[in-house]
Structure 1
Amino acid sequence: MPAAPSPQITPAPPPPERRPVGGRVAAALTEAAPALGAYAAVRIVGLLVLWAAASADGKDALHLLSERWDSVWYQRVAGSGYGYTATLPDGSIHSDLAFFPLLPALERGIAEVTPLGLAGAGLLVAWVAALLAAWGIFAVGARLYGRRAGVVLVALWGVYPTAFVQSMAYTETLFTALAAWSLYAALTRRWIVAGGLCVLAGLTRPSAVALIAALAVTAAVVLVREYRSGATDGIVRRHGRMLLGVVIAPMGWLAYVVFVAVREGSPFAYFDVQAQWGNSIDGGAALASFVLGLPLPGMLGLCAALAALGWLVSLCVRQRQPLPVLVYGIAVVVVSLIGSGYFGSRPRLMMPAFPLLLPPAVALLRLRSTARTVAVLAVLAVASAVYGAWTLLGSGPP
């Protein structure tokens, strides 16, 4: 009998060629270029208005941006380490342990290897981080609602009323950059990257608890859904990377809280330090007291602003934003409102909550005219710039 023909074996197709990391980054940066350009444009408007106003007032604009308010505390930590306290006339004590360590560490490292002093290093970190934050915000917006929405979202973040802080030697841009890219990593299921970035965010600002909550709640919902569906076999193995990312996410925040506890010899030392600064958690009692203590016009105006904020949060829910993005945005707002801190700081504390700007960004796209969208953003940029110059040249946030 003739031998049976050998079966034909079709060779497997070659695996898709994976682009080098540098190439992927370059492609992503090219896609984000319009958003970064829009962000740079609106922030340049703010800087030019500040420079003109400061020059007319005989003041140094760079000094206002790099050596004002909290930036001085960060630079003191960068230069001398922790241990400085200031006693106020009312007897309260302000300790530099209220300030998280990542920004001072970066300032010190840059100052040691460049001609920049600590103030210049702080500005460099803030400005580079601002561009990275804009890139991350664009990445989230573009993934959810398209590239044009991502560009408008970034521009809106750049014209936020207290956006002048994005140009100061503060932690807002550094924290927002880490948060935005952590959320993007979660959206793309890179959970270990998301957790690692959350660790760094936790070394930057106490509001990292909002990002920690976003990752944890998202993971919990995924697990509960699978458990209810009966798909319990191998659930830990299937979601091992997600669980690992969630476990490491709070490590940065916890590490600093433990550091303060050990240094001060009290498990609640960090919270005691914050209370000395007037930043204890009171569930919103201080906010309510502040609002009720205003003259009637101010009270009505502030109530209207808070109502608008609540409406914006409801729009985010109705927009069906992905769970990590939605939880993060709402949590930042809640954390900003339930503390007893100085009211003028609260808009700044809410600035990293960029998901709140997604509904306005999508609404602006409905204008169906690039010229109209640009005109709206230009008006907002000028208004934000004027407000920023007025604030920086005054005694602080009104």
Structure 2
Amino acid sequence: MTDLATRVAPPRLKGAAAKALLGYAAVRALGLLALALWSAARDKSAYTLLTARWDSVWYTRVAELGYGYEVRLPNGDIHSNLAFFPLLPWLERLLHATTPLSYAGAGFLVAVLASLAAAWGVFAVADLVYGPRAGLYAVLLWAVLPVGIVQSMAYSESLFTALAAWSLYAVLTGRWLTSGTLALLAGLTRPVGLAVVAAVWAAGIATFVRHRSAAPIDGARGQERAPSFAPGTPENGASVRRRALAMLLAPLGAAGYVLWVGHRTGEGPLGYLDVQAGWRNGFDGGWAFARFIAAKFTSFPSALAGVGLIAGVALVVWLYLVCVRQRQPLPLLVYAGVVTALALCASSYFGSKPRLLMPAFPLLLPLALALARLRTTRSVLMLGAVAVGSAVYGAFWLNGSGPP
């Protein structure tokens, strides 16, 4: 296997990377086609479902009117748009000001372009760790997720995943300033930007320890040794300063917005938590989610849903343990672990958990590696069947309860 230190050149959009993006675009086109047909049959607008419902409405309202809007519900809960991080609305406002696009249309364009950037970033990371064939399948697996239609919505998941994936790629290849800057931007996109910050910090600390102890930190490609997550260049003053600066930059986005919200609300550093509490969002270690699952076993029909939820959580945990067992590079393990923990252990609306898990793409790498070892025909047939199922489910989902 080639050490990452010899593979730090930015990936070019050709060969396997181009195939991965073409495959990704085909899956997303299938999903959009299914949505358009299903919506037309129900006299609904697919475009409206993608751009002007649920969270996308809150983002476009921030882009158009700024912060300060809130809704008081009959039960006393207060839904404030301060809960939504600013990078996506900023981009929507910029595109609206410089193009004929509406705010909603700008959000859709950002999502489409960001989803392609995210797919390329997923490929770049998987290719770096496991090779181009696994990179191709990692992208396709990310595309065919049951809630993959969200990648084409005016939501922030695609934008966040793109920033996270390329920040991880940068840290894996020793581009510290790039990684720190992208982590800063990820922190301005979603609260889970903390996962990218944690990955950058873990990599920085581990690199410092490694250079101090001269002990290599390696991963594994299946049964084989995989590359170190940091280039094997000699430590010097400039590299130390770049790493330190990256670690300083990484948390500034999330910390800056949270502190600004606290100042605006007059509640100090914990003001953002109060805003989230108005949405009944918080971190309770998974207690509310556990009670939600337990409540499903009060009757036979809902018990089946409870069994499905337990199986889904078990699958996610199992995939993470496989990632650990295969010794993925530390930044990937830290990032995926934090995203998974925040998604599963938050007290937010439980139907949103699959969407919140979507950025945790390193969890897909063991499956991508397994598909890469199969014959191409078999892998393509399996993914094709899943893609059709995902497209149908996405169309059904958006025309129903949708992504809260």
TM-score of the superposed pair, with normalisation by structure 2:
0.89
* Cα distance in 2 between the residues matched to 1:365 and 1:235: 39
Once the 2 structures are TM-superposed, how far is the Cα of residue 286 of structure 1 from its aligned partner? 0.7
* Cα distance in 2 between the residues matched to 1:78 and 1:320: 42
* 2:280 paired residue number: 278
State the identity %: 54
Q: Does 1:30 align with 2:14?
A: yes
* 1:301 paired residue number: 308
**Could you tell me which of 143, 148, 153 is aligned with 2:133?**
148
* Cα distance in 1 between the residues matched to 2:388 and 2:74: 38
* Cα distance in 1 between the residues matched to 2:313 and 2:351: 14
The farther-off stretch of 326-335 and 234-243 is 234-243
* 1:318 paired residue number: 325
* Cα distance in 1 between the residues matched to 2:306 and 2:236: 52
- Give the secondary structure class of the aligned counterpart of 1:59: coil
- Give the secondary structure class of the aligned counterpart of 1:30: coil
Q: Does 1:61 align with 2:46?
A: yes
- Give the secondary structure class of the aligned counterpart of 1:294: helix
Once the 2 structures are TM-superposed, how far is the Cα of residue 129 of structure 1 from its aligned partner? 0.3
Once the 2 structures are TM-superposed, how far is the Cα of residue 225 of structure 1 from its aligned partner? 3.5
Unaligned runs of 5+ in 1: 1-23
Structure 2 residue identity aligned to 1:277: W
* 1:211 paired residue number: 196
* 2:59 paired residue number: 74
Once the 2 structures are TM-superposed, how far is the Cα of residue 145 of structure 1 from its aligned partner? 0.9
* 2:387 paired residue number: 381
* 2:290 paired residue number: 288
The Cα offsets for residues 267-294 of structure 1, whole Å up to 9 and x where unpaired, read as 2111100111111111111111111111
* 2:151 paired residue number: 166
Q: Does 1:185 align with 2:170?
A: yes
The Cα offsets for residues 188-224 of structure 1, whole Å up to 9 and x where unpaired, read as 1001100000011011000000111111112222223
The Cα offsets for residues 51-98 of structure 1, whole Å up to 9 and x where unpaired, read as 110011111101100011000000000000001000112111000000
* 1:363 paired residue number: 370
* 2:259 paired residue number: 258
* Cα distance in 2 between the residues matched to 1:234 and 1:181: 23
Are the counterparts in 1 of residues 71 and 80 from structure 2 also a CA contact under 8 Å? yes
Once the 2 structures are TM-superposed, how far is the Cα of residue 229 of structure 1 from its aligned partner? 5.5
Once the 2 structures are TM-superposed, how far is the Cα of residue 237 of structure 1 from its aligned partner? 5.6
* 1:247 paired residue number: 248
CA shift in 2, pair 1:234/1:166, >3 Å = closer
Structure 2 residue identity aligned to 1:29: L
* Cα distance in 2 between the residues matched to 1:48 and 1:198: 34
Once the 2 structures are TM-superposed, how far is the Cα of residue 228 of structure 1 from its aligned partner? 4.5
Structure 2 counterparts to residues 74-93 of structure 1, below 5 A: 74-93=59-78
Once the 2 structures are TM-superposed, how far is the Cα of residue 300 of structure 1 from its aligned partner? 2.2
The Cα offsets for residues 335-384 of structure 1, whole Å up to 9 and x where unpaired, read as 111111001001100100000000000101121x2111111111111111
- Give the secondary structure class of the aligned counterpart of 2:43: coil
Unaligned runs of 5+ in 2: 1-8, 216-233, 298-302
Q: Does 1:339 align with 2:341?
A: no
Structure 1 residue identity aligned to 2:382: V
Are the counterparts in 1 of residues 114 and 159 from structure 2 also a CA contact under 8 Å? yes
- Give the secondary structure class of the aligned counterpart of 1:280: coil
TM-score of the superposed pair, with normalisation by structure 1:
0.90
Are the counterparts in 1 of residues 171 and 203 from structure 2 also a CA contact under 8 Å? no
* Cα distance in 1 between the residues matched to 2:307 and 2:20: 36
Measured on the aligned residues, the alpha-carbon RMSD in Å equals 1.7
The Cα offsets for residues 316-352 of structure 1, whole Å up to 9 and x where unpaired, read as 1111111111111111000111111001001100100
CA shift in 2, pair 1:260/1:370, >3 Å = same
Once the 2 structures are TM-superposed, how far is the Cα of residue 236 of structure 1 from its aligned partner? 6.2
* 1:16 paired residue number: none
* Cα distance in 1 between the residues matched to 2:378 and 2:344: 34
- Give the secondary structure class of the aligned counterpart of 2:383: helix
Once the 2 structures are TM-superposed, how far is the Cα of residue 118 of structure 1 from its aligned partner? 0.5
Query: RCO higher in 1 or 2 (8 Å CA, sep ≥ 6)?
Result: 2
Are the counterparts in 1 of residues 211 and 235 from structure 2 also a CA contact under 8 Å? no
* Cα distance in 2 between the residues matched to 1:301 and 1:72: 31
Structure 2 residue identity aligned to 1:286: A
* Cα distance in 1 between the residues matched to 2:342 and 2:49: 28
* 1:5 paired residue number: none
* Cα distance in 2 between the residues matched to 1:312 and 1:229: 31
* 2:209 paired residue number: 224
Structure 2 residue identity aligned to 1:280: G
CA shift in 2, pair 1:127/1:240, >3 Å = same
* Cα distance in 2 between the residues matched to 1:29 and 1:305: 34
The Cα offsets for residues 202-260 of structure 1, whole Å up to 9 and x where unpaired, read as 11000000111111112222223444459xx9876652211211111000001101110
* Cα distance in 2 between the residues matched to 1:57 and 1:92: 33
* 1:354 paired residue number: 361
- Give the secondary structure class of the aligned counterpart of 1:28: coil
Matched residue pairs, number?
Answer: 371
- Give the secondary structure class of the aligned counterpart of 1:72: helix
Higher CA-based Rg = 1
Q: Does 1:133 align with 2:118?
A: yes
* Cα distance in 1 between the residues matched to 2:366 and 2:28: 22
CA shift in 2, pair 1:156/1:234, >3 Å = closer
